[in-house]
């Protein structure tokens, strides 16, 4: 990131960086601004809202007015009433997907959502994942074998991004040598100006065009071939998707790219951060690697790689005693529900043998629940199994750099040194 743009954002009148969450008027709390997320200062704000105003209305922000839903059970209520809380036109806090208007099934209601999702769901069905496990393990081993030893490197680049990008290339049956394009396109669509990833709107639009052209070529190849078991072929042959207009094709592609990329990437980095901050838990893991599957769920809760999902109310309703009007935006802060003291014991502790660790909000609930959840869990499980075979300690040796976003909760840079097992 360029220092100038970072500074400008920190000085934005909307930023809450450096402010005391408990000293400001409740109504001034605005979680939508990326500043406190990048600065890792968000927790006290979430805690205060959960305690004092769990259904909170922010009247004014850089992205307009919106409701924040802070508590676990209220979030489940919103997520399970899609007929009141619509996913259209967008699941991001702004109406367009970071200023591009691309329809995709995550931002559609029934029945179209269901029809399109059903087409691609089988690729991440557990039965298919079982077949992918050997391949994923091979790739994980290869990546881990290529890492520098006792020498600083960026875990985000060499492990988190590399592994998720390879996985995406497999799911799309995307030419392996061009796989870095997937990461680039993903970053280009999710980056907010000033986040340091993209240079300009023009460059971003050019990237999106390149993405569409590339996938259109793959589509044309596959639509005339026998149906295959990759996402492009599934979309090209699926009854509910084969006649999609180009913007919808692109929208769904980007959904699948971002969904499979930014999320797991940041849980991969987040696990390293969590274990470094909690050495006792790291010790437990060294003593008993059978805790890995449970730890994976705990990492996904603790990290919450997507901080929220947005809904839009389509009929006047009431939530937690507050009257919400048709047209209002409602943000379900999964990251806050995952720290809800009334539902989750010692919620701020990272606890690898936590009972009921699967009981978290990171995948959402209801008909829009993450469809790649089992794939994500499997990738993380295999990665940690193989890390523990090889390394005594993945040591963080510098300050982690976080993403400038209130939506994607993750890391841009994580300097580590590897200490092999004796």
> Under the rule (CB under 8 A), what is the footprint of another protein?
76, 79-80, 110, 114, 117-118, 121-122, 125-127, 130, 358-359, 363, 365-367, 369, 373-374
Q: Least CB distance from residue 371 to another protein, whole Å?
A: 8
Least distance CB 125 / another protein (angstroms): 5
Cβ proximity to another protein, 375 vs 418, nearer residue = 375
CA–CA gap between residue 187 and residue 51 (Å, rounded): 35
Task: Give the nearest distance from C-beta 168 to another protein in angstroms.
Answer: 20
Residue 10 or residue 369: which is nearer to another protein going by CB? 369
Minimum CB distance to another protein, residue 77 (Å)? 9
Strands 401-402 and 309-313: unpaired
Which of 169, 158, 161 has the alpha carbon at shortest distance from 135? Answer: 169
Q: Are residues 182 and 165 in contact, defined by beta-carbon separation less than 8 angstroms? A: yes
| Closer to another protein by Cβ: residue 19 or 358 | 358
**Closer residue to another protein, CB minimum distance, 53 or 114:** 114
Residue 47 or 79 with smaller CB distance to another protein: 79
- Are the beta carbons of 418 and 391 closer than 8 angstroms? yes
Q: Give the residue among 302, 308, 306, 294 at the shortest CA–CA distance from 270.
A: 302
> How far is residue 141 CA from its own chain's centroid?
24
Nearer to another protein, 76 or 416 (CB): 76
Least separation in angstroms between residue 114's CB and another protein is 6
Cα distances (Å, whole numbers) of residue 163 to 158, 257, 411 = 8, 13, 15
- CA 113, CA 191: separation in Å to the nearest integer? 25
Q: Give the helix ranges, DSSP H, for 24-91.
A: 35-38, 43-52, 72-79
Q: Rounded to the nearest whole angstrom, what is the least distance from the CB of residue 335 to another protein in the complex? A: 18
């Amino acid at each position: 990131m360029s220092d100038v743009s970072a500074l400008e954002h920190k000085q934005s009148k909307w930023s809450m960086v450096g402010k005391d969450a408990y000293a400001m008027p409740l109504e001034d709390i605005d979680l939508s601004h990326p500043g406190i997320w990048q600065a890792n200062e968000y927790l006290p704000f979430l805690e205060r809202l959960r305690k004092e105003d769990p259904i909170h209305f922010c009247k004014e922000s850089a992205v307009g007015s919106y409701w924040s839903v802070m508590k676990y059970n209220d979030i489940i209520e919103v997520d399970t009433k899609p007929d009141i809380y619509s996913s259209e036109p967008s699941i991001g806090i702004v109406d367009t997907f970071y200023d591009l208007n691309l329809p995709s099934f995550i931002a559609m209601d029934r029945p179209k959502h269901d029809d399109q999702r059903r087409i691609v769901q089988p690729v991440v069905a557990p039965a298919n994942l079982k077949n992918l496990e050997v391949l994923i393990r091979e790739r994980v081993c290869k990546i881990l074998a290529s890492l520098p030893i006792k020498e600083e490197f960026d875990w985000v680049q060499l492990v988190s991004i590399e592994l998720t990008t390879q996985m995406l290339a497999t799911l799309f049956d995307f030419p392996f040598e061009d796989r870095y394009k997937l990461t680039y396109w993903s970053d280009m669509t999710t980056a907010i100006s000033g986040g340091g990833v993209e240079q300009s709107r023009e460059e971003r639009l050019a990237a999106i065009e390149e993405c569409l052209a590339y996938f259109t070529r793959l589509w044309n190849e596959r639509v005339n071939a026998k149906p295959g078991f990759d996402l492009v072929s599934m979309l090209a042959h699926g009854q509910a998707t084969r006649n999609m207009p180009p913007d919808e094709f692109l929208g769904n592609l980007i959904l699948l790219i971002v969904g499979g990329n930014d999320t797991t990437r940041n849980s991969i980095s987040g696990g390293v951060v969590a274990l470094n901050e909690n050495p006792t838990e790291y010790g437990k893991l060294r003593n008993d690697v059978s805790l890995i599957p449970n730890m994976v769920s705990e990492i996904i809760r603790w990290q919450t790689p997507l901080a929220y999902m947005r809904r839009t109310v389509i009929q006047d309703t009431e939530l937690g005693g507050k009257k919400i009007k048709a047209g209002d935006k409602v943000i379900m802060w999964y990251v806050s529900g995952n720290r809800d003291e009334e539902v989750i014991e010692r919620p701020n502790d990272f606890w690898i043998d936590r009972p009921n660790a699967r009981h978290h909000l990171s995948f959402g609930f209801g008909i829009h629940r993450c469809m790649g959840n089992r794939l994500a869990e499997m990738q993380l499980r295999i990665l940690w199994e193989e890390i523990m075979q090889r390394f005594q300690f993945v040591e963080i040796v510098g300050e982690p750099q976080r993403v400038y976003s209130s939506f994607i909760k993750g890391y841009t840079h994580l300097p580590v040194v590897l200490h092999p097992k004796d």
